A and B are shown apart, each in its own frame.
Chain A
């Protein structure tokens, strides 16, 4: 594979992560967080950036609040997961898609996204 362009330090790190031994992913906390981030940013999956400013993401929308200081806002990680799984419980008319209830993400993917968001 030819690598033509490496645009940011982040992609270098991600690339090194992939090329390095599988240990970097299995078990390593950093690897799981990276995966959560990838899921959150991917336009076909979480696509959270459509509506939320998130550190490390470009061209974010502003339909929802910036996702910062998440541990302070969600001391209980379960509550954060619940918000992502079905935003309509807290707000029936929420514009946020119910990622779990509508099968937009799998349970496993929601766990990974929750961990990533909680780390912000």
Chain B
């Protein structure tokens, strides 16, 4: 069989839920349409429950998950993350000195657009920028120490409401549009978009996997996956979902994945941050 690795396919659906709109919609309009789509599709799901991803959709799965969460598999990670957070760098400085708002209680504020650099800032990217500025080696972006540290930061952010506004800066809008395109474009040998599984077919079953709604897809990250027996960052998950459809994953913290994360978090405006969380 010919190896088939293809990032962008013919049927590009850049428009939102209805891919035919001729005029570009504003991010605020997109958020409204995106959320309304899921409220209409799942009228029995309380709006507040979308933060729980797939467990908002099925009572049995939810019960099993709630049992797991009574003794969360990521509990030790939070403690370790806290220790990391509070341990000064060799130069005596700490994460609190360089991360947004002193670092804690901020998971729901990322990614954000930074006017000075014209770039998106992710939590993981900022952690490494902070380390570099203080003469420390960067952490790997997908697993290990990075999601351990972000698990602590997420835990201190529980209950904060995601509220990320896209500004009128052209570079901000361009980043947003890139993320939107990443989300809706079909890709890979199996020719599927994120939206094919997490919008159009959310609530359906692929084999025995229930597909979560894209609304609230990232609100609870980092996640501890039983399949990984470990924590993972959002970009680790993106890579997995890309590989499953035989698409070449982008690098963690690539512009593609940063913008995709931005798009999903903007769409989740109003959803509570409730990470870390456990998943199959």
Contact = CB atoms under 8 A, between A and B. Distances in A.
A61 B200 CA distance: 15
Contacts of A61: 204-209
A63 B205 contact: yes
Contacts of B37: none
B227 interface: no
Interface string B159-201: 0000000000000000000000000000001111000110011
Interface residues of A, number: 18
B1 A106 contact: yes
A60 B207 CA distance: 5
Main SS of the interface on chain A?
Answer: loop
Contacts of B4: 102-104
Of B4, B19, B207, most buried by chain A (CB within 10 Å of CB) is B207
A63 B206 contact: yes
A102 B189 contact: yes
A51 B197 CA distance: 11
Nearest to A105: B1
Contacts of B189: 97, 102-104
Interface residues of B, number: 21
Interface in B118-134: none
B13 A51 contact: no
A31 interface: no
A39 interface: no
A98 to B, nearest CB: 6
Of A51, A60, A63, most buried by chain B (CB within 10 Å of CB) is A63
Contacts of A50: 206-207
Interface string A74-106: 000000000000001000110101100011101
Interface string A20-35: 0000000000000000
A77 B205 CA distance: 28
A59 interface: yes
28 contacts: A49-B207, A50-B207, A51-B206, A59-B208, A60-B207, A61-B205, A61-B206, A61-B207, A61-B209, A62-B205, A63-B204, A88-B10, A88-B11, A88-B191, A93-B19, A93-B196, A95-B192, A95-B196, A95-B201, A97-B190, A102-B4, A102-B190, A103-B1, A103-B2, A103-B4, A104-B1, A104-B189, A104-B190
Given A88-B10, A102-B4, A102-B189, 14 more contacts: A50-B207, A60-B207, A61-B204, A61-B209, A63-B204, A63-B205, A93-B19, A93-B200, A95-B196, A97-B189, A102-B190, A103-B4, A104-B189, A106-B1
